[in-house]
Chain A
Amino acid sequence: DIQMTQSPSTLSASVGDRVTITCRASQSTSSWLAWYQQKPGKAPKFLIYTASSLESGVPSRFSGSGSGTEFTLTISSLQPDDFATYYCQQYNSSLFGPGTKVDIK
């Protein structure tokens, strides 16, 4: 079975910082990788699919990269609305990573 990991589990950052979150799969997942943002008490918001394609309406400061077993989500300049938990998902098997919480430094 594929296992998904994310690092770090928590990331403290300031507004304006460049933030990078890593997602790793225990075996190749090609580019079937999505990213979601979740705020407390809310449903996840779909951000990125096929590892690097931005969903319509998602700000361009979000970007994704990677293929195979290692993927990254980058926020180029962190905004106040971006403090949240981020999940990757290998959607071919619908498996989610454990999440990375981005909080205020």
Chain B
Amino acid sequence: QVQLQESGPGLVKPSETLSLTCAVSGYSISSGDYWGWIRQPPGKGLEWIGSIHLSGSTFYNPSLKSRATISIDTSKNQFSLELSSVTAADTAVYFCARHPGGGTPSDFWGQGTLVTVSS
């Protein structure tokens, strides 16, 4: 069973960089799937941020592309998100998830972690 767990600071200051890690267990991140980040502002809907493949190929939401960077570390079986120049609008629950192929739905999700942007 694929399990994902997000971790990272719960509070980030405006203009700084948000950094989160998703640890994958029960499954090898090297198996060839895609791994993605989705966020949800409080009381609002879901927004896909971007995804990465084992090969290192990345795909980003055009609205966030200039600020988001996703990387993968197969030795630690985890992948990460960095979002630069954050503002209060980036306050959200951030989820990591797996999708088995490019352009496929996310079948396994982490529980999510709340990141608040505030001074």
Residues of A within 8 A of B (CB): 32, 34, 36, 38, 42-46, 49, 55, 87, 89, 91-99
Contact = CB atoms under 8 A, between A and B. Distances in A.
Contact of A43 (B47, B48, B99, B109): B109
**Which 6 A-B residue pairings sit nearest by Cβ, starting from the closest?**
A34-B105, A94-B48, A43-B109, A96-B46, A92-B103, A91-B105
Contacts of B104: 49, 91
Contacts of A97: 45
| Binding site secondary structure of chain A | loop
Contacts of A46: 105-109
Interface residues of B, number: 21
10 contacts: A42-B111, A42-B112, A43-B97, A44-B46, A44-B106, A89-B105, A94-B51, A94-B103, A96-B47, A99-B45
Interface of B: 36, 45-48, 51, 59, 61, 95, 97, 99, 103-112
Contacts of B103: 32, 91-94
Given A55-B107, A91-B103, A92-B103, 16 more contacts: A34-B105, A36-B46, A42-B112, A44-B109, A46-B105, A46-B106, A49-B105, A91-B99, A93-B103, A94-B48, A94-B51, A95-B48, A96-B46, A96-B47, A97-B45, A99-B45
